[in-house]
Chains A and B, each alone.
Chain A
Amino acid sequence: MNALRGQMGLWKLHLAVIIIGAIAELIGIRKIPLGIGAILLLPLLYAFIMAALMNPNVMPKFGKFIGEKEVKAASPLIVIAIMPFIAKFGTTIGPAIETIIEAGPALLLQELGNLGTIVLAFPLAVWGLKMGREAIGATFSIAREPNLAIIADRYTLKSPEGAGVMGVYVIGTLFGTFIFAILASLFASIDVFDPRALAMACGIGSGSMMAACTGALTEVVPTMKDEILALAGASNLLTYATGLYAGLFIALPIVEKLYNATAGKRDLAAADNKGA
């Protein structure tokens, strides 16, 4: 019952989350159309921004209601607040199990294509931009909600790895639809790839990313519209089912090993120099 008393002492934090969250939900999903794509704004993003603006570390002037005690307590609460989300997630996978089995080898194996982020982004982040451990969170995945949960669970979102995944996450939420619309139209217009392959790849991100991606793709290849939508939908389902596990058991361990074998030694050397 100590936990209950502890949480009661944090009534300000929980009240602020309820009010901010309710305002964010009332604003709802907003779309800012921009040429071929649209910037998609989601309630969870407003909630994050509003809470940040009430955070005394971000806005020292507003630091009257939320203090350092609430800031410290909020961190472990993120992990627990993500648990119901993950549970809900699981309940969407079970009913679709037969579709997932039927979807076939191409659908299954293209999930490994997600590792392309490690090939492209990791070298740039670690060697090109000399980033630290935030590179692990930033480049192990496409940084959607399940990947946030993986990092939150393993490192917490307050860690450098968490800052990395949150950075890519926020950019993805703000600009993901736009980026995916551009990617799909570029890949389709060069007329090299099978539209079915482009469609499967559309399912790798969030629902809104898939919408933007298939929207652009069907504009370029209107004769294959039904097939594109079906394959993208199946791939998205599969990403929901496998994304968490591919990130947890394949991508994250690879990125961790790569980092520790290369940049990790650089970090240690730098620490030794400072110590000496």
Chain B
Amino acid sequence: MISRIRKALENQPAIKAWIIRQEISRSFQQYDLKDRSEAVREVDTEIYTVDVLCDSEDSEGKISSGLGTVSILPGGDIESTLEKAILTAQLVHNEPYDFAAPAAIPEIELADPAYQKDPEKELGRVLATLKEASKAYPHVRLTAAECFGQERQTHLVSSKGIDASQTATDIYLQWVYIGGEGQDEVETFAEIQRRRTSDLNLEEAVSRQAQSTLDLVQAGKPQSYTGPVVIQGSTLADMIAGEMLSGSLLGTLSNAGLKYSGETPWEVGKSIFRQEVKGDDFTIWANRKLAFGVPSSAFDKEGIPAQRVPLIQENKLVSFIADQRYAYYLGIKPTGSFGCMEMPAGNTSLADLQTGSYVEIAEFSWFNPNRLNGNFACEIRLGYLVEEGKRKPFKGGMLVGNLLDALADVIWSSEVGFYGNYLGPRGARFNSLRVTE
């Protein structure tokens, strides 16, 4: 079908440039409810997405570029769908730009051979491992689990000469633990997304979640507090790199599209913070080359090859993350899509971060700072007040502050971890944050 679409595009003189993306995916989904299988699903899809770029005159007679994008399902009407794309492209008026030229595309490991070999068996093995590992914690009950796997093949060709293919897998696992009894019952919910099953680190994840469930049973009410706050693991990764529901503040403010629209105050060469940095210096890369990173890719939807982009170095913005169009507009090198957040290891051990009196936050209800200024007031699902070496769990209350201000006064751990979209310190001690009752 790609060749038919290509031929149809080449017969259209109005088109300045085009990209075709073919995506074929096959997924398996298993849903367990206590000791029985609730649902089993198998899904096959195939879709062709076509971007066409046309130049036309705007209402003032200036040359402008317009993008028209359409999707075609197998058996769909290619000619009439492409006409719709061209019409749209001619009606949309933006500053002129062009699509990406071919460039060397690196090999990035994105697919799990164990899953590809026998998807159903591998998902079954994951669920069996989860159940078996959970048995080691008799005071918690596993009441539900969902495990999905998907293999997606992408083939991209463009009028500029790009012809590239990649295959990626996605593994998603969630489960529910119940702890306590009667009116004192509590639940915890775990959710992990990775490219391969071996990165789920199930034994460790089960141990952490089971302990959180037991601690939640014992959790008391929060106290008002201002002082050091320690955050670790996937909760820290979500704060920095964003989670599945919301993007990351750092990703938003470093986006070239937002720079072009005037909505980010960040400037290359200047500190991203509005105050003096009191803690460790902040350095981060946007890394789409990270093997088995969930947002990693050999090439993005425009065909731009994977890169490891220095984003922030010693608190100063080094580069905006730009697709082809905004790179053109801002006169910078295109980076393609963001990829994973990568940070260097800190200089302080996790053990040293956890000294003296402090609050540790194990889980938020949802850490969702304001997407442009970083202000937040987020409910604490499970935290600990640590005094004289004793950890007292609490539930409720809010962590209140501003994420950028918090990142300007933090100590990072020397131990690093990988959490799907984040590779960096496993722990951080924010020197002064406020917990409200």
Is this pair of chains taken from one and the same complex? no
Binding site for A on B (CB under 8 A): none
